[in-house]
Structure 1
Amino acid sequence: MQREERADELVVHGKVDWKGRKALKHKHGGMKVSLLVLAAFGMENLATLSLAVNFVSYFTGIMHYELADAANMVTNYMGVNYMLSIVVAVLADTWIGRYKSVVISGIVESLGLALLTIQARVGSLTPPICDLYNVRDAHCEKLSGKQEAFLFIGLYLLAFGSAGLKASLPSHGADQFDERDPKEAMQMSSFFNGLFLALCVGGAVSLTFNVYIQDNNGWIWGFGISTVAIVLGTIIFASGLPLYRIHAAHSTNGILEIIQVYVAAIRNRNLPLPANPIQLYEIQQDKEAAVEIEYQPHRDIFRFLDKAAIKSRSDEQPENQETPNPWKLCRVTQVENAKIILSMLPIFCCSIIMTLCLAQLQTFSIQQGSTMNTRIAKHFNIPPASIPIIPVAFLIVFVPFYDRICVPFLRKFTGIPTGITHLQRIGVGLILSSISMAVAAIIEVKRKGVARDNNMLNALPVLQPLPISIFWISFQYFVFGIADMFTYVGLLEFFYSEAPKSLKSTATCFLWCAMALGYFLSSIMVKIVNSATKNITASGGWLQGNNINRNHLNLFYLLLSILSLINFFVYLFVSKRYKYRPQHPAVTGGNSEE
C-alpha cells in the first residue's frame, strides 16, 4: 500500500509523456524543461517585433503604399495575428494538442517569412525602385496584382504562425508544472515572470540588431534573419519532446459549454426561477469524483442565466437524470462559469483602447522618428524603429525589481499576495497610457515647431531630417512602457486567475484578442479621422499624405489621450462593480450559497 502511494507521488496527474504513458515528476517537465519554451518564445518575439515596428517603412519605402494605408496594413496584420490566437488555442485544446500546435505554427510562420524573403530578393515581385524626389508627387509605381497577392500570402501566413505560437507556448509551458504541488506552483509563477522577461529580451535584440540590419543591409537580410530565428526556435522547442509533460486526453470544450448555457437559458426563458437556488440542477458527486470535477457555488448575479439550470418535468424522469441534454439543461457550475466570463467582459472591453494607443507608437511614432536627427555618435545613426528599445530595456530591469522589491513592500500595507489587486494594476496602466498620448501630442507640437521655424514643413523628411534629436519621442515610449507592464501583465494574470478551469488553457488568448480589436479599431479610427477632417485641413485630413510635417498628428494624439482618459473613468466604474470569483470552490456535490 505504501509502495502504491509512493509511486502515486511520482506521477503527474492529468499529464502524459510523448508516448502516452503517465508523466513522472523526476523525468518530465519542471523548470529546466520550461527553459526550452522560454527560449522559443523569446526567439518568436526576436523575429517579429522588429517587423511590427518597421513594417510601415517597408510598405511605404519598398512597396510604395501611402502612409495611412501602410499604417492600416500594419494594424490589420497585428489584429489578425492576435485574433487568430483564439482559434488556434481552441484547436490546440480540443484537437491537435498544444505541442503539435506549436510545431505546426512554427513551420507556417517560417514559410510566411521565407516567402517575404523571396519577394524582397526577386526584383519582379516588387515595384521598381522609386525616385525619392518624386515621392511627394506620387510618381512611384504601385504594386501589381501578382506582387500584392504574394505580399499578402506571406504576410498572413506569418500572422497565422505567430498567432499559434502565442496561443500555445504559454499554456504548454504551464503544463510542465503541477499546480497541486506547492513547490511547483511557485515555479509556475516564476515561469510566467520568465515568459514576460523572455518577451523583453527577444524584443531588445529585435529592436536593435534586427532593425539595424533591415535599415542598413536591406530587407532581404532582415526577413532572412527572422526566418532563421523562427526555424531555430521551433527546433529548440521540438527537441524537448521526450522531456515534456503533455496535457492528457481533452475534456469538454469550455467555450462550447459557455455557448450551451446561453442556448439553454433562451430555451428555458419561459420557465419560472425557483425561489431557492438549491433546486437548480447540479450533478451529485462522491468524494473521489469531487477531486477531479470543478464545482462553483451559486452566486446571485446575472439571474437570467440561471434558467439554463432549471429542471423541467421531463428532466426529472430517472432515465434523464444521468445524461441530460446539455443544450437544454446545464449544471450550476457550468452556469457560474458563464457568469464569470460575462462579468469579465467589461474589463476586456476597457483594455481595447490601450492597444489603440500602442498601434500609434508602432506606426506614426516611427514616422515621426524618421523625420528627426538620428545621430547619436559621429558615425552612427539610430534607426527610428529602434526607439522602443528604451522602454524594453527599462522593463528588463524594472520587472525583477517590481517583483522582488515593490511587491513585498506593498504586501506589508495591503495584505494582498500580489501587492495590489489585478484590477488596480490594470487601472494604473490605463491612466499611464492616457498620459503617454498627451506626451506624444506635446512632442509632436515641438517637432512641427522646429520644422516651421526652419521652413521645412514642405521638405521631404527622408532627404532632409529636422534639426531635433530623435530621443525626444523616447518620452512617450518610456511612459507607455511602464503602462504596458502594469496593464498587460495585470490583464494576463487577471484573465488566467479568473477564468473557469475548463478555459485556463485559452485564458491567455483573451489578452491577445483584446489587442486584436485594438489594432482593428486603430485602422477604423484613422479612416474616420481622415474622413471627418478632410474639408477642414489643406492636406485633406489630419493624417492624409506621406509628408508627416504637413499632417496634424498632434491633434490625433490629443484625441487618443482624451479617449483614453474617458476609458479610464469607465474602467473605474466597471472595476468597482466587479466581484472576484471564489478562488477555492467547493468540491462536493450539491448546491450551496456563497
Structure 2
Amino acid sequence: MEMESSSPGSQLKPPVELEQQETKDKAGRKRGGWVTLPFIAGSMIGLGLAINGTTSNLLLYLLKEYNVESIQAAQIANIVRGSLNLVPVAGAVVSDSYFGCFPVVLAGTAINVLAFVLFTLTAALPSLRPAHCAPPPAACQHATGGQLAVLYAAVCLLAIGTGGTRFNVATLGADQFSSPRAQDVFFNWYFVFLYGSFIVGDTAIVYLQDGVSWVLGFSVCLAATVVSLVMLLLGARYYRMPAPKGSPYTDLARVVVAAVRKARVDVAGGRQVQYYVGDGAAAADPGSDGAPSKRLRFLNRAAMITANDDSSTDAPARGHGSSGWRLCTVQQVEDLKSLLGVLPLWSSGIFVSLSIGLMIGMMILQALVMDRSLGPRFQIPAGSMTVCALAAFIAVTPVFDRAVFPLWRRATGAVPTPLQRVGLGHVVNIAGVVAAALVERRRLGVVRAHNGANEPNGWVTPMSVLWLLVPLGVVGVGEALHFPGNMAFYYQEFPKTLRSTATAMAPLLVALGFYLSTAFVDVVRRVTKWLPENINQGRLDNVYWAVAVGATANFGYFLVCVSLYKSRVK
C-alpha cells in the first residue's frame, strides 16, 4: 500500500556513518558528501533566522508601526507567509529548467540581502511610516501609499529571495548524495537546522525587534543574510552541481499533446502494439521489458508507434524535431504518470497546512490578550509563541529516530515509510487542533468569569499564555512526522528531472494552507459571529472545532489515496 522507504535502519545512523558518495571534478577535487553540510547549514541558518523572525513579527510590525487593525493585520501576515511558501515553486521551475540549484540559491540570497536593507530603512526613517499612535488603531493615522509601497517592496523582495533559497537549498543538499538512505538522513538534518534557525528568529530576533528596537532587529537580520551569502560562496568548491537538461515541463506537455493526437488511433484487431523506448528501440505490449505501466493507460498512446511514426523512431524523441510532439519515449510517459499519481496524496496535505496557518495567526492574537509575564520584568513577545512548535519539532526528531522508529522496526521488521510518517502526522495534527479548541474554551471561561467580554479590545485575560504551548507543541510533533515524510516521499517519487519541484511541493502545501486559512477566516466572519475584532467577545473555540472535524474527514481522504497509490520505487 505504501511506498518502500530506504533500507531498515537507514534513519538511525548519524551522517558520519553513511557513505560519503563523493565525486571528483576535472581538476581531481572531491565534490559532494557530508563535507558540504556545514556550508549549506550555515547558509540555511542565517536565512532562516532572519526570514522567519521577520515574518513571525510582521503582524506586530503592522499593528504597532503601521496602525493596522488586528484581524486585518493577521490576514495580511498570513498572505505574506503564504507567498513566502508559494514563490519557491517558481524558484524550483527555474532551477530545474534553466540554471540548476546553486545559481538560483545564490541569486535568492543576494535578493534577501536587498530585502532587509529596505526593511531596515522602513524602521530607521520616520518618513517611511505613519505617525506613532496609541491603540485603538481605528483612530490612528494610516500609512500613505508611498509608505506602503516601500514596505510591500521589501516584502516582495523577501518573497522572491525566499523562492530562490529555502527549498532549492534542500535540493542542493540532497544532490550531494546518491542513495535514498543518505538523502533521507539529510532531509532530517535539513529540517533540524531549518527549524533551529526558526527558533532563533522567533525568540532573539522577535525580542530585538519588538522589545528593543525595530532598527536593531532588522539590522541583525541584514547581517545574518550577508553571513549566509558568504557561507554559500565558501562552499561552492565542494558542491556537486548537476547541470539542468532543459525544461522537463516541455517533455510533460509533449506527452499530453502526443496522447491527444493519437486519441482516435485504433489499437484493436489483435495486432501487437509497439512502444518507443528511445534510440530507435521499441518494446511490445504486454509484459515486455520497457513497456509502459497499465495505470493511466490513455497516456501510453504518446509512446505508441503508429504508421505515421515508423519513419521517425530513429529520431530523438526528447524534444528535437516534430516527432517529439507526436511520439514520446516510455520514460517520458512514466514521468508524467508518476507526477499525476502523486497529486491526490499531495492534495490531502492542504487541509493540514490550513489548520496550521489558522492556528499560527489566531494564537498570536490570543497571546496578545493573555498574561505573557515571566517574572516581574519580562514579557514573552506574542510573535515568539510559535517557537514552541519549532522546539517540539527539533526535540522529537531524535526521539523518533533513536527510540520510536527502532521500536517500530522491531514490531514490523522495517522502519516506517514516508507515507506512514505522513499519516501519523495527520493524526497528531488533529490532536493539536482539538487541544487548541480546549485551551480557547478554558480562556473564554476565564473571560466570562471576570466579565471580560465587556472590557475594551485588548483587555488581558488573567490566564497564562503558557497554556498555548500545549497545542503548539502537539502541532510541532505532527510537523516532525509529516513535513520531512512528505519531502522524502516527493523527492523519491518524482522524476529525477523534477527534483527541485519535488522539494517545492511541501512549501506549496504550506502556501495554500495560509491562503486558504485566510479565506476560511473571511468566510467565518461573514456567516458567523465567532471572530469579531475583540476576540474576547467571540467564539474562536468553535472555529477550532470546525477545523478539527474537517481535518478528521481529510485524514479519511488521505487513507483512500494511500490505498489507491502505486509507488514508482521498486
Q: Same fold (TM over 0.5)?
A: yes
| 1:356 corresponds to 2:354 | yes
Q: Please, which moves more after superposition, 264-273 or 553-562?
A: 264-273
**What TM-score results when the alignment is normalised by the length of structure 1?**
0.86
**What TM-score results when the alignment is normalised by the length of structure 2?**
0.89
Identify the residue that residue 7 of structure 1 maps to in structure 2.
none
Measured after TM superposition, the shift of residue 373 of structure 1 is 0.7
Identify the residue that residue 556 of structure 2 maps to in structure 1.
569
2-structure distance, mates of 1:273, 1:421: 39
Per-residue deviation, residues 481-510 of structure 1 (Å, max 9, x unmatched) = 111111111101110111112212331011
| Residue 264 (structure 2) aligned to one of 270, 274, 284 | 270
| Residue 449 (structure 1) aligned to one of 445, 454, 463 | 445
What is the identity, as a one-letter code, of the residue corresponding to 1:474? L
Contact kept? 1:53, 1:363, Cα under 8 Å: no
| Residue 347 (structure 1) aligned to one of 345, 354, 363 | 345
Identify the residue that residue 526 of structure 1 maps to in structure 2.
521
2-structure distance, mates of 1:85, 1:316: 42
Per-residue deviation, residues 59-116 of structure 1 (Å, max 9, x unmatched) = 1222122223222212221222222112112212332332221111011111112111
What is the identity, as a one-letter code, of the residue corresponding to 2:451? N
2-structure distance, mates of 1:47, 1:320: 54
| Residue 406 (structure 1) aligned to one of 395, 404, 416 | 404
Q: Please, which moves more after superposition, 392-401 or 514-523?
A: 392-401
2-structure distance, mates of 1:445, 1:11: 53
What is the identity, as a one-letter code, of the residue corresponding to 1:360? L
Measured after TM superposition, the shift of residue 297 of structure 1 is 5.3
2-structure distance, mates of 1:175, 1:230: 23
2-structure distance, mates of 1:327, 1:75: 42
Contact kept? 2:280, 2:313, Cα under 8 Å: no
| 1:560 corresponds to 2:554 | no
| 1:298 corresponds to 2:284 | no
Distance 1:375 1:499, change over 3 A: same
Identify the residue that residue 164 of structure 1 maps to in structure 2.
164
> What SS does the aligned partner of 1:280 have?
strand
Identify the residue that residue 283 of structure 1 maps to in structure 2.
278
| 1:108 corresponds to 2:102 | no
Distance 1:277 1:579, change over 3 A: farther
| 1:437 corresponds to 2:433 | yes
Q: Which ranges in structure 1 are unaligned for 5 or more consecutive residues?
A: 1-9, 180-184, 287-294, 584-594
Q: Please, which moves more after superposition, 236-245 or 473-482?
A: 236-245
Distance 1:31 1:379, change over 3 A: same
Measured after TM superposition, the shift of residue 404 of structure 1 is 2.5
Identify the residue that residue 580 of structure 1 maps to in structure 2.
567
| 1:146 corresponds to 2:146 | yes
Distance 1:190 1:224, change over 3 A: same
Contact kept? 1:125, 1:147, Cα under 8 Å: yes
Q: Please, which moves more after superposition, 205-214 or 477-486?
A: 205-214
2-structure distance, mates of 1:441, 1:52: 25
> What SS does the aligned partner of 1:282 have?
strand
Distance 1:514 1:393, change over 3 A: closer
Distance 1:257 1:574, change over 3 A: same
Measured after TM superposition, the shift of residue 273 of structure 1 is 4.0
Identify the residue that residue 73 of structure 2 maps to in structure 1.
70
Distance 1:250 1:96, change over 3 A: closer
Per-residue deviation, residues 419-448 of structure 1 (Å, max 9, x unmatched) = 122222111111222221222112112112
Identify the residue that residue 83 of structure 1 maps to in structure 2.
86
What is the identity, as a one-letter code, of the residue corresponding to 2:193? A
CA RMSD across the alignment = 2.3
Percent identity between matched residues is: 29
Contact kept? 1:75, 1:519, Cα under 8 Å: yes
What is the identity, as a one-letter code, of the residue corresponding to 1:303? R
| Residue 250 (structure 1) aligned to one of 244, 253, 266 | 244
Measured after TM superposition, the shift of residue 467 of structure 1 is 0.8
What is the identity, as a one-letter code, of the residue corresponding to 1:543? L
| 1:122 corresponds to 2:117 | no
1-structure distance, mates of 2:384, 2:197: 13
Distance 1:460 1:94, change over 3 A: same
> What SS does the aligned partner of 1:467 have?
strand
Contact kept? 1:28, 1:243, Cα under 8 Å: yes
How many residues align? The count is: 539
Identify the residue that residue 43 of structure 2 maps to in structure 1.
40
Contact kept? 1:53, 1:366, Cα under 8 Å: no
What is the identity, as a one-letter code, of the residue corresponding to 1:356? L
Contact kept? 2:82, 2:512, Cα under 8 Å: yes
Identify the residue that residue 290 of structure 1 maps to in structure 2.
none
Q: Which ranges in structure 2 are unaligned for 5 or more consecutive residues?
A: 1-19, 282-288
Measured after TM superposition, the shift of residue 269 of structure 1 is 1.4
Distance 1:277 1:384, change over 3 A: farther
| 1:423 corresponds to 2:422 | no
2-structure distance, mates of 1:12, 1:270: 50
Contact kept? 2:391, 2:476, Cα under 8 Å: no
